[in-house]
Structure 1
Amino acid sequence: MVHPDEFKGPEADALPDTATVPAELAALYLCMTPAQLADLRKSKRPDGRAGHGASIIRPVEGGAAAGPKDAVLYQLGTLRGFAKAHTAPTAFDTASDSGLPGWLSARLPFFAEREPRIKRGRRVLIGGAWDRADPLREKRFAELAKGRIRFTSLTCAEAAASLWADVASHRAFAEKGLALLRSETQAIEAALADTGLLPAAASNPETVA
C-alpha cells in the first residue's frame, strides 16, 4: 500500500510520479497480468543472453536490507513512462472488443467499493480498471492505492449483472452487452427464417439463385 506522505495532499486526484506501488497494482496500472509484468523485469533471455524485446520495467531498489521475500515495488513515474511508450491495445482491450465470446468469458479488472452496501456481500462496481482512456482512471487508481476502494476480476457479463455505484455508468456499460445480445438474436432469427425456407427451396430448385 502507498504511504499517505507520498501524495500531493490528502485529496490529490492522482498519485505523484515518486509514489511506489506493489507489483499487483503496477500490473493493473499497465493493464497486464502480474506474470506479464514479471517477464518485463527479466534482463536476460532463458539462454543467458541479453534480451532485445520490450523495454524492461525495473522495480524500486530495496536497499541492502531487502531480501528475496520483500515485496517488489514500482515507482509510478516509471510505469507512466512505459505506458506512454506502449500505446498498443492491451490484452484487456482485445478481450473487451472480442464480441459476445469475450463478453461472456474474458475476465477483466473492475474498480469496486471496498465494503458491500447491502446484505449477502454483493459487490458494488465503480468502473472498468482496464480502460486507459477513462478520465477518472488516475483518480480511481489513487483511491485504490490508498485503500479506499478495491478491484475485482469479473467477466463483462458478470459485471453487467452486478450493482454499480451510479446508474449512468452501469447503463453505459450494460448497453454494450445488450447490443451484442441483440446482434446475436438477430443472427439467430435470420438463421431460423432461412431454415424455414429450405423445404420450399428443395421442392423448387429453380428458385434458388
Structure 2
Amino acid sequence: MAQLDELKGPDAHALPDTATLPAELAALYLCMSPAELADLRKSKRPERAGSNPSVIRPVEGSAANPKDPLLYNVGTLRDFAKAHPAPSAFDTALNTGMQAWVSAKLPFFAEREPRIKRGKRVLIGGAWDRADPLREQRFVDLAKGRIRFASLTCAEAASSLWADVASHAAFAEKGLALLRSETQAIEAALAATAQLAAADPQD
C-alpha cells in the first residue's frame, strides 16, 4: 500500500494511481465481486490494439508467498473502470424491483466504531455508487482503516442507522417508492377481482 498517511493537499482526498489495494477492496472499487475480479485475471482472448482491456493483472510479485494477498494498482483499476462504464451488477440489483431490494447483497460504507452499543452498525453510504462525490475520499478512509464496508440487502440497509439523515432519507425513499408501487399493484388487483366478481356473480 502507498504511504497514505503522508497524503496531503488535493491528493489527500483520493488514492494515488501508485497506491495498491488487496483483491477484496479492488473488487469493491470496481463494483464487482471478488470472484468476478479473479475471473478477470484470466485472459480469454488475445487483446487487440485499441480495444478495451478485458484482463486486470495484479501487481507482479505481490503474492510471492501463497498466503500473501494479491495487490492491484489503483491506476490500473481506474483505467479499467473508465473503459467499462456500463452499470454494474450492483446497479442492476438496485433497480430490479422489490425482490432484489430484499435479497441482493450490496456493499455499504460503515463507521468503523459504531457510536452506539457493540453489534450495531452505522452506515455512511453505498460503496457501489460511482456518482458519489465522496467515494474516492471514502476509499482513502477505507484503506487507512478509518471506516469499513458491510454487505447488506437494501432492505437491511434502509432499516439500519446512518451517519446522516439526508443520505438515509434519500436511500430509504427508493424502498418506500417500491413499497408504494407494490401496494398499488395489489390494490389494483383486488379492485379487478371485485369487478370480475360483480360482472359474473356466482349462484
TM-score (structure 1 length as normaliser): 0.87
Deviates more, 1:147-156 or 1:69-78: 69-78
Matched AA of 1:15 = L
Query: Aligned equivalents of 1:171 and 1:130: distance in 2?
Result: 18
Matched AA of 1:69 = K
Structure 2 gap segments, 5+ residues each: none
SS of structure 2 residue aligned to 1:55: coil
Structure 1 gap segments, 5+ residues each: 205-209
Q: Determine the structure 2 residue equivalent to 1:156.
A: 154
Q: Determine the structure 2 residue equivalent to 1:57.
A: 56
Task: Confirm whether residue 189 of structure 1 aligns to residue 187 of structure 2.
Answer: yes
Q: Number of paired residues?
A: 197
Query: Aligned equivalents of 1:98 and 1:187: distance in 2?
Result: 16
Deviates more, 1:52-61 or 1:93-102: 52-61
Task: Confirm whether residue 39 of structure 1 aligns to residue 36 of structure 2.
Answer: no
Deviates more, 1:174-183 or 1:7-16: 7-16
Q: How large is the RMSD of aligned CA atoms in angstroms?
A: 2.1
Q: Deviating runs (4+, > 6 A) in structure 1? A: none
Matched AA of 1:111 = F
SS of structure 1 residue aligned to 2:101: helix
1:90–1:171 Cα change, 3 Å:
same
User: For residues 1-209 of structure 1, what are the structure 2 equivalents within 5 Å?
Assistant: 2-5=1-4, 8-9=7-8, 12-43=12-43, 45=44, 50=45, 55-62=54-61, 66-203=64-201
Contact 1:21 1:74 in 2 (8 A): yes
Contact 1:26 1:79 in 2 (8 A): yes
Contact 1:18 1:75 in 2 (8 A): yes
1:54–1:101 Cα change, 3 Å:
farther
**1:22-69 CA distances to partner (integer Å, 9 max, x unpaired)?**
0000000000010110111113x5xxxx55696110111127x92233
Contact 2:103 2:153 in 1 (8 A): yes
Contact 1:7 1:15 in 2 (8 A): no
Matched AA of 1:62 = G
Contact 1:113 1:150 in 2 (8 A): yes
Deviation at 1:121, TM superposition (A): 1.9
Q: Could you say which structure has the larger radius of gyration?
A: 1
Query: Aligned equivalents of 1:191 and 1:120: distance in 2?
Result: 45
Deviation at 1:193, TM superposition (A): 1.3
Query: Aligned equivalents of 1:177 and 1:203: distance in 2?
Result: 39
Aligned identity (percent) is 74
Query: Aligned equivalents of 2:46 and 2:26: distance in 1?
Result: 22
